[in-house]
Structure 1
Amino acid sequence: MIDLLQPDSSYYVASETTSGKQQPVVKRAFDISVSLLVTLFILSWLIPIIGLLIRLESRGPILFVQLRSGRNGRPFPCLKFRTMKYQKNASFKQATQNDRRITRIGRILRRTNLDELPQVLNVIAGHMSIVGPRPHPIPLDVQYLPLIPEYRQRFKAKPGITGLAQAKGLRGETSELNQMRHRIRYDIWYTKYSSLSLDVKICWWTVEKMIKGDKNAW
């Protein structure tokens, strides 16, 4: 179990174990290659199946589109499979454990991270990367920017479908300030020492979480 108040030892991997900050061209090539493969061989048949299951359980759109902060703090429309009951013009509220808004299929999608898969389309569009700091809803940015001085540094990189913090289990509700602080420390470390090999490792850790399930995924 990860103690949210104490950093994971793997956070302090020495910088010499990385190959230095990866070149933008290499990262973009990795992003496009992975995104196109996922779109062609997975999303092409998974979207109709998951979409049908979502619509059978609750009315409303298949995809949930939410403005989130991207690189340099620029907002972009972040795509997800809808996991909650549809409520037009609903105000923002973080998902909590046993949240009644979440549908049955939504709980499965969240636990396995499959709800994030449509974001490969955000990657192709250039809004996101496969790996990077997870984009937060704008109300969370507004809440934590004044409270965590280093928070703004996470905007130096494109947000990712998955990230180092999430791969290490730091996801879900941030009801305590230290939970967000700990997550931000992972994000900032990644922006400093990102590499292709690290991206591949984070992708692998994410797949493991998808298979095993994540207890913090509500």
Structure 2
Amino acid sequence: MLHKKILKSVIFITLLNLNYSLNAQSNNFNKFSIGFTAGTTGLGGELATNISTKFNLRLVVSGFNYSDNGQEVDNSVTVGYEVDGKVNSIALLVDYFLFNNKFRLIGGIVRNQFEINGNAAAITPYVFDANRTFSPDRVGSVSAVVNYPNEYMPYLGLGYGNALSKGNALKLNLSLGLLYSGSPELIMQGTGLISPTINQVASLQQGLNEFGWYPMLNVGISYQLLKNQKK
């Protein structure tokens, strides 16, 4: 699978660079920073340490939850709906610094749990004509789940800012990249008269197949705990 090939390539390149860096440098893991991040994977925090003068290692944890509910009137039937979404992300990333240790290439592995659950059900009877009325149970309900089949995803990106560089202990950090997530999967279930709605799964899934990459944009503030003027 393409996902596995990309994942193996990222791991191999990252380990190769780390091995070279560790062999070439003796002044490693002597600086640390903590930080706050906000972006497309939610709000979170990060820990960073130096591997060498050109490489930093970062652990980033982030996430968010979303909920919504309400009612809509359709063909004289009141339909109640609920939507819940969540993203939980744990990333192990390596920064390779360019141009005076400010701009960086980023690679790593992300455990990204993304899921959206939704359901809709009739809460009032449906009056078809003067002689036929269908109860809410007879009208039925529809539920749907969207998630990603791949839990571990390779990440590549670009960034600006070095949490462990000399100067002010407080730093602004920016990054933009892509996770190779694979296409999200849609699962639908239905009951009652509206259950044929789930027959649209194939066409809806075809549209979701175009979203094989998950964008990651992050803005962060970091604070260097142990400062060292050599970098």
Bin for the TM-score computed over the shorter chain: under 0.3
Q: Give me the TM-score of the superposition, normalised by structure 2.
A: 0.25
Normalized per residue, the structure richer in helix is 1
Normalized per residue, the structure richer in strand is 2
Q: Give me the TM-score of the superposition, normalised by structure 1.
A: 0.26
